[in-house]
Chains A and B, each alone.
Chain A
Amino acid sequence: MRDTEICRKLLQLEEPWSVDRVKVDVETRELHAYLVAGKSWFGRPTFVRPKMRWRHANIGAFKTFVHATLPDDQAQRQNSPFLGEVDRDFTHGLAQRVVECLKAGLGYRQVCNLLEIDVYLAWQIRHAISEGQWGGDENLVERSMEPSSSRQIPPTGDPVWLRLLESEESIDIRLLGLRLLLARCRQEFPTLSSNDARIMRVNTVRRFFIKHEKQLAHEISQLLELRHGGPAGAES
């Protein structure tokens, strides 16, 4: 059986979904599954397809990430445990697993440790569960909470991201990758007609901040200043 077919079964995919490619990183214990729905996307080359990336429940000892383009069909989005929402970094299946563990009496931090969920993802999932999704409620999470760790990087829904991307707000950036990414997103942002597309850009920039947090103290401090209404920083 091919690796893509095994992965399809492990993820419990249903038609029209299939696994296009699988990348397994033994060293970091990560499994990346690249999903497609149907055989083609109207013949358009792959690089024009907006693709999301969500953390899914582990497969064995491997942290699992699903990469896919969100379908237009809302029902399909919500009923597919291997998909997530445009403004979230996790799948419905992972959130459901968290709720099950909380209901079984585990503390929130224990659940995060068990499922290898980092602090940013943990905050996102907690917030979503508190809104009542996946059979959770605010009390379910609050009961399980220990004193929370500090969070520096704002969540996806924080208005600071729109402020950063919509305006020419000057921010002194030292990392070349962030300079190019932010410039690109700012160029695109006014032309994006769908809210989903705008949130995806926010997610991408936020992901950069999370991935490079240790190198971005200077930029994060400006982001937080911008969040509180102050000037972001000097022109670079």
Chain B
Amino acid sequence: MSVESAAVLIERGLGLTIAGDESLLKQLPRGQWIGGTTPYFMTSEGGQCRRDVVFVQCLDTMDVAVARYDVEILANVLEDAPENGYSIIILPAGSPVLEVYAHHAPDFPDMFIKPIVGWVSGVHLDDLGNRSAAVLDGSSGELHTDQAVVLHVRLPEGRSAMVHTVNLFEAGFGPELTFGATGDAPGECRVDGVVGNLAEVIAAQEIGPELPLVADYCGAVVNVSIQSIDESAGRVNLYAPVFEGVPYRFARPVADYPAKFIAAMPRHSGNLVFGCNCILNYLHSGLKGRKTAQLTGPITFGEVAYQLMNQTAVFLTVEGDD
């Protein structure tokens, strides 16, 4: 929508999350909203890259609180969340606060107990290296590149927030990979229990950049995507950390992502109030101009469904308890 239309919603006092180009976000009035930079969106008309509009997700409630978190207080994010409700977090790509969230969110107090979703802001791919990803605190109008912004949303009794992911990747038939330490630039790993090197596995197996590492978390498949390979250092740079002791495998390729995505969306997804999908799915799966069912939202540089995810669509529904 246009900046003018977004401003009308802000001035009505509604809780909003807004994605768009930095120059547009800075034009918006103060209010109960948080924003992040990305020019990529999944709209009801399909995947788009636009610098002239913003994408607004309206939470249809005024019972929200905007908060900012730096590295020092990020661990308090869910303690600050309402007992019944949910939180939406936006973190800037490449920032220390994202690194802390990626590595330590599973250990934060109240993690997994209270629902939290969100995304990682970024820049147009043509601007990589020239501009920084940013987030906006709508309550103050301040732009930040080193803090996370969060919208805490309270729900009335009898309503609950449910976090969902759509992840089409499944473990492939390659070797099982485990890592001796949590990190986002691993080198050495164990390959089916034998000491090896991740970069060498990728080369030997001819793993394409579109295929993430996947791990099974009691039935939930969690991806870790490849950013780049530093052959001279024998290291692989990842978009999220691999965790110590967790077994991973490279995923199988997914053909015709949009069609499979629509098939994977729950038929009755409830009242969908938030959604986002990954830039890597947009790029590798040809989502430009293609629709992904009722899931619309920003195309992002990392997704949060409790912990940081990669190459995953995340959405949140609000449902009655009965």
A187 near B245 (CB under 8 angstroms)? yes
A208 near B112 (CB under 8 angstroms)? yes
Q: Which residues of A contact B112 (CB under 8 A)?
A: 177-178, 180-181, 184, 204, 208
The stretch from A35-43, A85-93, A210-218 touching chain B is: A210-218
A179 near B160 (CB under 8 angstroms)? no
CB distance from B47 to the nearest CB of A (A): 24
Q: Knowing A47-B107, A184-B106, A236-B219, say if A176 contacts B305 (CB, 8 Å).
A: yes
| A46: interface (CB < 8 Å) | yes
Complexed CA–CA distance, A23 and B65 (Å): 13
Q: Which residues of A contact B106 (CB under 8 A)?
A: 180, 184
Cβ-defined partner of B83 (8 Å) among A28, A172, A175, A178: A28
B246 near A177 (CB under 8 angstroms)? no
Q: Knowing A179-B217, A179-B220, A183-B217, say if A21 contacts B84 (CB, 8 Å).
A: no
Complexed CA–CA distance, A232 and B246 (Å): 23
Q: Which residue of B lies closest to A183 (CB)?
A: B217
CB distance from B319 to the nearest CB of A (A): 8
Complexed CA–CA distance, A28 and B219 (Å): 34
- Per-position binary interface string of chain B over residues 199-243, scored 1 when its CB falls under 8 Å from any chain A CB and 0 otherwise: 000000000000000001111101000000000000000000001
Q: Which residues of A contact B72 (CB under 8 A)?
A: 46
- Per-position binary interface string of chain A over residues 170-207, scored 1 when its CB falls under 8 Å from any chain B CB and 0 otherwise: 01110111111111101100000000000000001001
CB distance from A64 to the nearest CB of B (A): 13
Cβ-defined partner of B108 (8 Å) among A47, A173, A235: A47
| A25: interface (CB < 8 Å) | yes
B321 near A214 (CB under 8 angstroms)? yes
- Per-position binary interface string of chain A over residues 71-96, scored 1 when its CB falls under 8 Å from any chain B CB and 0 otherwise: 00000000000000000000000000
B113 near A47 (CB under 8 angstroms)? no
Q: Which residues of B contact A60 (CB under 8 A)?
A: none
Chain B: number of interface residues, binned into ranges? 35 or more
Chain B residues at the A interface, C-beta cutoff of 8 Å: 63, 72-76, 79-80, 82-84, 100, 104, 106-109, 111-113, 115, 154, 160, 162-165, 216-220, 222, 243, 245-246, 305-307, 321-322
Complexed CA–CA distance, A53 and B79 (Å): 11
A47 near B218 (CB under 8 angstroms)? no
Cβ-defined partner of A176 (8 Å) among B76, B108, B165: B165
Q: Which residues of B contact A207 (CB under 8 A)?
A: 113
B306 near A176 (CB under 8 angstroms)? yes
CB distance from A223 to the nearest CB of B (A): 14
Q: Which residue of A lies closest to B246 (CB)?
A: A187
Q: Which residues of A contact B115 (CB under 8 A)?
A: 177
Q: Which residues of B contact A116 (CB under 8 A)?
A: none
- A-B pairs with the 3 shortest C-beta distances? A236-B219, A47-B75, A183-B217
